[in-house]
Amino acid sequence: MASLIDTNVLVYLFDARFPAKQRTANAVIREGLAMNALVLPHQAVVEFVSVVTRPRSDLDGASLLPRAKALQRADVLMRQIPVLYPDAEVLATAIRGAGTYQLPWFDAHLWAYAEVNGLPEILSEDFSHGQHYGSVRVRNPFLAATDAVHELPPMYDP
């Protein structure tokens, strides 16, 4: 069974600010490629390039990737993972999903790709983990990934 990949999985591949999520994204993609179990919506490719090339204030105005590298990475992803493109049925389903499930437009559109194409799962941190929308279940692969700095207990010093 193939899973639909949300943009955040792709972005975390290149976002060193969150090393645990970066490791998780790499594992998800590596395992999915090995099992031929991933599908990429056209929307995620477009959003990926936009997100990773946007200047970030926390990076002193730099982006996660330079534009040329982002485009090259998008091209590689599209050659490795089958891409789904929108059609009238996907758009109509997205409109229905936005109303029925009260999803934001881009989430409804992502869900519609999975629903229309018979994909049982979306991999994303943007939906409620384990929630079913129509025939599609959402799995957040980043639940166990934490990049929080944990306070270590004081060392016992006899």
Give the tens place of pLDDT for each residue, 76-106: 999 999 999 999 999 999 999 999 999 999 9
The answer to whether 13 and 25 have CB atoms below 8 angstroms apart is yes
CA quadruple 138, 141, 142, 145: dihedral sign: positive
Q: What SS3 class is residue 138?
A: strand
> Is-above-0.75 flag for pTM?
yes
Give the pair of three-digit tokens for residue 104. 């934001």
Query: Cα–Cα distance between 39 and 64 in angstroms, integer?
Result: 23
pLDDT given for residue 156 in this prediction: 37
Please state which CATH number belongs to domain 3-85+118-139: 3.40.50
Burial 87-117 (b: 16+ CB within 10 A, else e): eeebeebbeebbeeeebeebbbbbbbbbbbb
| Whether 119 contacts 2, CB under 8 Å | yes
Each domain of the chain, given as residue ranges in start order, spans: 3-85+118-139
**pLDDT tens by residue, 47-56:** 999 999 999 9
Cα 92 from Cα 88, distance rounded (Å): 6
